[in-house]
Amino acid sequence: MPDLLAIVSKPIFERDAKVGGKLAGPGDVWPVARYTSVNRALSGLAEGGRLFLVTVRPPQEELWLVGVLESPALDDTGWGASPNTIPVTDITSLRRTLAFESRKGLPADKGTLAMALQTPRALAATDVSQILALTGGGAPANATMPSRTSSIPPRERRVIDGKYEILRRIGEGGMGVVWEARHARTGRRVAVKEILGDIADEEKRLSDRFEREARVTGAIETQHIAAVLDTGTDAATGHPFLVMELLSGEDLQQVMLRQGTLSEDVALRVVAQACAGLARAHEAGVVHRDIKPANLFLARRDGGEIVVKILDFGIARVKASMATADLALTTTGQMIGTPLYMSPEQVLRPKAVDHRTDLWSLGVVLYEALAGVNPHEDIETAGALMVAICGTPAPDLGAVAPHVSARTAAIVKRALAIDPAMRHASAEALLTDLRNELPEGIALYASQISLRPESLRADSQPAAPLELAETALATWNAEGGGAGNTQRSAGVQRKKGT
C-alpha cells in the first residue's frame, strides 16, 4: 500500500488550518479529514495507504508536515478519512534527504519547492521513517484540538441575491464554493458558484470575469457548452456569484482517475464532441485557452445518452467585437491556463494565441485518455515544463500506448505539433479526422462508459438526476491537482452520429 506526499497550498492552509482561533503551527494538531483533489497521481490510495500532507511556509520556504490521512477513501471531489492526529511538524531538515520512490528528491534552489510538490509523489520507506521520527508518531498531550466544523457551512434557507435558495453544497475550492440552488420564483434547480472570504480587492475583477463568462457562452449556439444563466453580486454578503445549468454526470478527469485509460473508440467520441463545441466557439471568435479533462463534462441525458460539455470560459479570449472595456480581462500578456495542457505559443506569446492553442490542449487530452499519462507528466518544475512544451515533441503515442491505431496516433501527433502551422487548420478539420475514425458517429452512450450513479434526484422531476461536480472550481483549487468539478442541466437530446 502506498504512502503518498501531497501539498496543501498556502491559501487553503491559512484559510482552514485554525487551532484555537489561530493558524496552526508546529506542535498543534490540525484534525484535517479531507484532501480535495482528484489528481490521478493519488489513485494508488484506492488500495489503501497513507496520505502525508505538507505545506510550504514563507518567507524561508519551511516545509511543514500538517497531517496524515490514514486509508483515505475517494468520493466525487477528493479523499476523506478519520481526522488527523499527527501534530504539525517542521520537516525542512529533510528537504535534502527525502528521496521518494522516483529517487529524484527535492530541488534545493530557492523558490522551487512548492512547484516540485504540485504533483503528489510516492514516498520511499526511508522517507516515511524520517518523517515519523520527527513527529514522534502522534499528537502531544498539550496539542490544541479545535472542534470539527465545516469552514463554509451552508446557512439554513439562505437565498443568494434574493433569487437563489441554497439547497446543498456540491463542491469547494481555494476561493469559493458551489451550491445546488433553486430559483425562488421559477423553481428551476441550478448550480451557483460563489466567491467567499475577504476578497475586497478582487471583487470587481471576479465579478467582471463572471459577467464575461456569461456573455461569452451566451454568444455560442451549441449543446456542447455548459450554459451560464446569471451573474451578480449578492447584496447581503458582497460575494460575486455565477449561476450555471445543473448537469448530471462527471468530468473527464474524474472518469480517468477512476478508470485509467479509455478505450480508443470512447476517447475519440469524447474528444470529437468537445471538438464540435470548440468549432462553434471558434466560429464565434472565442478561444477557450484552458481545455483539460476537468473542463470536459460528461453529462447524462434521457435514453442513456452522454453529451460532452465544455466548462469554464472564464479566461477565454474573445474577438474585439465581443469585448468591452469592462470585459477585456485577459489581454495583459500574463501566462494563462493549466501548465500541463498549455501550447507552446501560450507559454511564449500569450497575447498572440489563436484557436490552434485549443487544438493542442485537446490533443493532450486525447493523448492522456489513451495512454494514461500526460506527455509531460514526469517533469517536476515549472521552468523545465515550459522548456519541454516549447522545444521537445511529445513522446510518440504509438510507443507509449501500442494498442492505439496508427491513424489515431497520427491525429494526436499532428495536434501536438510545436509549430501551430503544422496542426489542423481548424477545429472543423480536426473533427473531420476524428469522424473518419468513427464510422458509427460521435454519439456516446452510458453502455459505452461508466459514470458514477446519481445520489439524489429532483422531487419534482424524478427522471432528472442532480448529482454535481463543479469544474470551474479546478481553477480555484490550490490543493495540488484539480479538484473535481461539476455542473448540470437537462437539455435537448442529440441524434446519434451528430
Residues tagged active-site: 290
By three-state DSSP, how is residue 233 classified? strand
Q: Closest by alpha carbon to 247, among 482, 75, 474, 472? A: 472
CA dihedral 298, 304, 305, 307 (to 10 degrees): -20
> What's the one-letter identity of residue 219?
A
Q: DSSP state, 103?
A: S
By three-state DSSP, how is residue 364 classified? helix
Q: Closest by alpha carbon to 338, among 385, 300, 405? A: 385
By three-state DSSP, how is residue 375 classified? coil
Q: Which helix (H) or strand (E) holds 159?
A: strand 159-160
Q: Do 289 and 352 meet the contact criterion of CB atoms below 8 Å apart?
A: no
Q: Do 10 and 31 meet the contact criterion of CB atoms below 8 Å apart?
A: no
By three-state DSSP, how is residue 230 classified? strand
**Separation CA 143–CA 141 (nearest Å):** 6
Task: State the maximum Cα–Cα separation within the chain, in Å, rounded to a whole number.
Answer: 68
Grid cell listed for 233: 453580486
**Separation CA 276–CA 307 (nearest Å):** 11
φ/ψ of 364, rounded to 5, equals -65, -40
Whole-angstrom CA distances from 363 to 75, 289, 291, 313, 369 are 28, 13, 10, 19, 10
Q: Do 86 and 140 meet the contact criterion of CB atoms below 8 Å apart?
A: no
Q: Closest by alpha carbon to 131, among 89, 169, 170? A: 89
Grid cell listed for 218: 451566451
Q: Which long-range contacts (CB under 8 A, 24 or more apart) does 266-269 make?
A: 266/444, 266/448, 266/449, 267/366, 267/369, 267/370, 268/366, 268/408, 268/434, 268/437, 268/438, 268/442, 269/438, 269/442, 269/443, 269/444, 269/448
